Amino acid sequence: MADVTTQQLAQLMIGVARAQLALADAVENTKAGFKFTHVRPALETASRIRSNHAETLADFPSRLLLQMLGRNPPDMDRVTRDLEALLSGHAPVAGDPAADSLDMTT
């Protein structure tokens, strides 16, 4: 098996988030308000974005999809940096401008 780089993993995660967003968009087209009434609150719970816990690798996919719902989707470099930080055990610190994480609460 080939070694997967952090950038390849970031590309894969962005692709999965795009597929999930396409499904949410499809439901939104049949039921207006679905994404922000049903999807966003569920993702905020799954990502633990409002909790005081440190960001974990398990929360990262939900946070990524949550950001995809916004106007500015995440770029590859930022996703790669955040993944590298999480995989190294040094999660980005919320509110730290140098961290530039996917945390949308700041």
Give the pLDDT confidence of 15-56 residue by residue, as tens digits.
999 999 999 999 999 999 888 888 888 888 788 777 777 778
In angstroms, the CA 85 to CA 66 distance is: 19
Predicted structure pTM score? 0.72
Under the banding of pLDDT at 50, 70 and 90, the label for residue 103 is low
**For the chain, what's the residue count?**
106
User: Which H or E run contains 4?
Assistant: none
For 29, 50, 53, 56, the CA distances from 63, given in Å and listed in that order, are 23, 11, 14, 10
Average pLDDT over residues 2-23: 91
DSSP 3-state assignment of 5?
A: coil
Tens digits of residue pLDDT in 67-93? 888 888 888 999 999 999 988 876 655
- pLDDT score at 46: 80
Q: Can you give the pLDDT at residue 99?
A: 47
